[in-house]
Amino acid sequence: MARIDVNHIRHSYLPNPKKDSDFALKEVHHIFEDGGAYALLGPSGCGKTTLLNIISGLLHPSHGKLLFNGRDVTRLSTQERNIAQVFQFPVIYDTMTVYDNLAFPLRNRRVPEADVDRKVRETLDMIDLASMANRKARRLTADQKQKISLGRGLVRSDVNAILFDEPLTVIDPHMKWVLRSQLKQLHRRFGYTMVYVTHDQTEALTFADRVVVMYDGEIVQIGTPAELFERPRHTFVGYFIGSPGMNVLPVALDGRTAMLGAQRIELPGAPKAEAGSVELGIRPEYVRLGREGMAVSINKVEDVGRHKVVRASLEGREIAAVIGEDDEVPAEPKVRFDPAGINIYADSWRVEMGA
Ligand code: ADP
Ligand code: MG
């Protein structure tokens, strides 16, 4: 397996890119450590597939370098890079049996037939298709085909990395969950370097040790699920992760106080930002609804099972608060912000809090 160093990569699909917005990847610089399980998370169009294809060699970057264990592979082909990639849509041989589809990448590498058989059977069990081994692939359903595609990515154990591009999109929710935990087990057992692309936060947070969040052609934050939740570096991460996302409110700073309209909000420290207009971010889980604090009017209460989401107006802005499933909204509702959950942002980027 390899440590993958994505070194100041920029990529444009245009022949003569000029401005920043001509680039699908603006400036991506990140090291995927050997044996790490990474999720690449971001909305559609943010550049996830472009980055994955650059790592695998299907695409050559306009600028920058790619190193595997310190060796420059930027100009090498996909085969020479020795990477397994699973795509969003099945890539299989329709006329071959399920068994032969999985055996193909191994035979191609001249793996002895006894080892081929062992690996193929192991993989068939994992993707739950052992009973279909001798069936022609074209006779399978769409989600079975996708499982073969997944199996083809997992069958080799000598690869530098395994890349997954939204591989479970067409798979039903229960099987999705099963396959995802299989992938995790496989990672624990063999220590593969894995990069898993998804636009689904649940998928990213359950699969990865480290989540790489992309937005508009850039990496905006890399962290554990807890770090992304507690300390979003960019307001986008706050919106995108968590349900509902982080509340973002325009405030004026004055030392350790933020003014939201006429309301004074005490901060956990003095933000290292120039006094003036910035934004305050607070997750709904840290907004305390009760009889003390700033007066709000309630717009809506959504019962989402284990808790309720309250939508309220505060100083003309809608904010969300989370309360327990048995909690009631008081007659004259007020909110307080738990200082532990307050982050301050300037130009969308989080600023440090001083003492
Ligand atoms: P994601 O996988 O996150 O949805 P992509 O990497 O597919 O994003 O796309 C990033 C940007 O590059 C998008 O604006 C998309 O329209 C553009 N793009 C992707 N593939 C091509 C292509 N083959 N030709 C031109 N533009 C492309
Ligand atoms: Mg994509």
| Distance between Cα 106 and ligand 2 center (Å) | 27
Q: What is the pLDDT of residue 172?
A: 86
ipTM of predicted assembly, 2 dp: 0.99
Q: What is the pLDDT of residue 346?
A: 95
Q: What is the pLDDT of residue 202?
A: 87
Q: What is the pLDDT of residue 119?
A: 96
Question: What residue's CA is closest to ligand 1, atom 24?
Answer: 13
Atom of ligand 1 nearest to the CA of 166: 2
Give the domain 4-235 fold. Rossmann fold (3.40.50)
Q: What is the dihedral of CA 24, 30, 32, 38, to 10 degrees?
A: -60
Cβ pair 140, 98 in contact under 8 A: yes
- Ligand 1 pocket mutation pick from 10, 14, 49 by most atoms within 8 angstroms of CB: 49
| Distance between Cα 49 and ligand 1 center (Å) | 7
Domain boundaries, the chain: 4-235, 243-344
Using 50 as the pLDDT threshold, list the residues of the chain that sit under it.
Answer: none
Q: What is the pLDDT of residue 287?
A: 97
| Distance between Cα 50 and ligand 1 center (Å) | 6
- Each residue of 190-200: pLDDT tens digit? 888 999 999 98
Angle at CA of residue 334, ends 333 and 335, nearest 5°: 135
- Each residue of 313-353: pLDDT tens digit? 999 999 999 999 999 999 999 999 999 999 999 999 999 99
| Residue 259 identity | M
| Distance between Cα 44 and ligand 1 center (Å) | 9
And the tokens for 309? 């989401």
And the tokens for 162? 């395994």
Q: Which residues line ligand 1 (CB under 6 A)?
A: 13, 24, 42, 44-50
Give domain 243-344's CATH architecture. Beta Barrel (2.40)
Q: What is the pLDDT of residue 186?
A: 85
Distance between CA atoms of residues 118 and 115, nearest Å: 5
Distance between CA atoms of residues 303 and 325, nearest Å: 7
Q: What is the pLDDT of residue 103?
A: 97
Q: What is the pLDDT of residue 191?
A: 87
